[in-house]
Amino acid sequence: MEGLLSSIYSVVGPSAKPTSIQALSLKHLFSPLKPGKDGQLAWRQYLLASETGSGKSIAYLLPMLQDLKRSENEPRIESESSPRRALNPRGLVLAPTHELSRQLSGFAKSLLHNVKLRVMCASRTNVPSVASRTASAAQMAVNFDGKGDGTGEFVLSGKEAVSRDVDVLVGTPTKVLEMVKGRGWDWEKRAKEREEEGKGEVTPRRKWTIGEPEAGLANVEWVVIDEADVLLDPDFQESTRLLLADIAAARGHPVKYQPELNLSSIGTNTPVEVPEYPFNLLLTTATIPSSLAAYLDAYHPSLTRLASPNLHKLPATLKTEYEGWTGGRRNKDIERKIRRVWWEDAVAAAKPGALISAESLPAGSPKSKILIFCNKSSKVEDLGTYLREMGISNVALTSTSETRQRGSNKHLDGFLRVRDVQDSVGLKPVSPDQPHVLITTSLLSRGLDFCPSIRHVFIVDSPRNMVDFLHRAGRSGRAGEKGKVVVFGKEKGRGAGRDKEMKSRVRAVAR
């Protein structure tokens, strides 16, 4: 489609060549749907799997957008069981976090400058959260997806609640379910969960009124599950599968839905009812952990898997470096490494023969941006406080941070890639008002496309597994840009064996 083609050239440049996963998408996902044996359309089910920074968003957005544009004037069957709502999307893109949802919707819009399709993100500002949240590992799903009594994300009411057809809606499964079923639809279930966790009274202080549904699902023809290894993980899959079942029911082809899945109980003698979804289903991921593989084998046996040859490998442009702890003052070691990185930046930009001190860089010296991953929110906050005391401005971001503004990625200004302006690969002069260090947990390790000026990723705590490592490290060295991941660890003494094992695993995924 000519309009999409010109838009993609404006984003990636006229001389860009498709990556492996994009080439596979072009080969398999752009052909028209063919009728099945029963005369009905044979909907597509594909998994797009490739390493971080390989352009998976383009690989799934282009075929969806082209098909939606091609079919926008085709007649649609009105369903009595699924009335029209204020929003009636034809495509859904599901992501694990609001930050990723916003970036994906912005990127989709950048592809539509020459094509009239409407993309909407299920997120906006001005409605603050009043939910009490936890940062514990057991509540990782809550932290990622923003469950709670007041997520404050995208509310249509009053004069706004008029029919506003949208082609693509982007959001988290929980947020989209709220828009489909009404705000507060699951308050009783969540209250019971809080009671079981010992977090308060099950009876609310006031009677909860379920809001008016805002979105209908009868028109949905495309569903993309981005970061499928997260959204189909045991912590998230219930909401994701419920939404898929609701779409199928709204389209007149209900499928069986089981809230609880125990994949470990599935064996050769255990019958599994495979859902036949009446829409195109695309799953994307940078890793295929055993839990995702088991789920796909059981419930999507006919799904076609498209995988790049470098799946489960670091980008070739991303180098690895190991930094040993010098003693008990780990924050000091991290500070020292940050200053060393910036000293190297200043030396590279200085005139030959110039003497530059790591403790006192020349005014206006360029500084690359550094992304630091910790395992615990408390460590994020502690390190952020320490670095500020040492004169290093930073953004310390956890799931409960006040800086994590609802409905906006403003808290990530200067760190995320902005597609509607030309990227500047070179390092920019230091701005005293803009931090150059971002400290976070795995919250921001999924899918987000960081700007090329993030040349370094520090991993200061051992990741839970290599899946976590690949996602954290993959925030740099994206789309052919150079980057470096610095892995901190003990070189000797107690705990050194575990860090050495991690080092050997890192070498195995490096290229």
287 lies in the same domain as 339: no
The number of domains in the chain is 2
| pLDDT in the model for residue 150 | 32
The residue written with tokens 């969960």 in the block is 193
Least trusted range by pLDDT, from 34-43, 181-190, 316-325, 372-381 = 34-43
pLDDT at 191 over 80: no
Sheet holding 483-489, edge to edge: 318-324, 483-489, 454-459, 369-373, 437-440, 395-397
Average pLDDT for 127-151? 37
Extract the runs of DSSP E, i.e. beta strands, from 58-145.
91-94, 119-121
203 lies in the same domain as 259: yes
Extract the runs of DSSP E, i.e. beta strands, from 301-342.
304-307, 318-324
| pLDDT in the model for residue 28 | 94
Hey, what amino acid is at 208? W
301 lies in the same domain as 323: no
Contacts of 349 (CB under 8 A, 6+ apart): 365, 366, 427
Residue 79 lies in a domain: no
Average pLDDT for 205-229? 88
Least trusted range by pLDDT, from 273-282, 331-340, 413-422 = 413-422
> Which residue range(s) make up the domain with 485?
318-509
Residue 364 lies in a domain: yes
Structure tokens of 350? 């200085």
| pLDDT in the model for residue 113 | 86
Residue 466 lies in a domain: yes
Residue 193 lies in a domain: yes
Burial of 198 (0-12, 13-18, 19+ CB in 10 A): exposed
Q: Which of 341-345, 429-433, 503-507 has the highest mean pLDDT?
A: 341-345
392 lies in the same domain as 263: no
- Kindly indicate the confidence band of residue 230, based on its pLDDT and cuts at 50, 70 and 90: very high
| pLDDT in the model for residue 349 | 83
User: Using alpha carbons only, what angle is made at residue 425 by residues 422 and 428, rounded to the nearest 5 degrees?
Assistant: 100
236 lies in the same domain as 108: yes
Q: Which of 307, 326, 342 is the last residue of a domain?
A: 307
Element (H, E) at 223: strand 222-225
pLDDT at 407 over 80: no
287 lies in the same domain as 372: no
Average pLDDT for 162-178? 86
262 lies in the same domain as 364: no
Residue 393 lies in a domain: yes
pLDDT, the chain, mean: 82
Structure tokens of 245? 């079942």
- CA gap 179, 154 in Å, rounded: 8
441 lies in the same domain as 334: yes
pTM: 0.82
Residue 461 lies in a domain: yes
| pLDDT in the model for residue 157 | 37
> At 451, phi and psi to the nearest 5?
-70, 155
| pLDDT in the model for residue 289 | 92
Please check whether residue 323 is in contact with residue 487, taking contact to mean a CB–CB distance below 8 angstroms. Answer: yes
297 lies in the same domain as 330: no
Q: Which of 261, 278, 307 is the last residue of a domain?
A: 307
- 3-class DSSP state for residue 321? strand
The residue written with tokens 């998230």 in the block is 236
Please check whether residue 457 is in contact with residue 484, taking contact to mean a CB–CB distance below 8 angstroms. Answer: yes
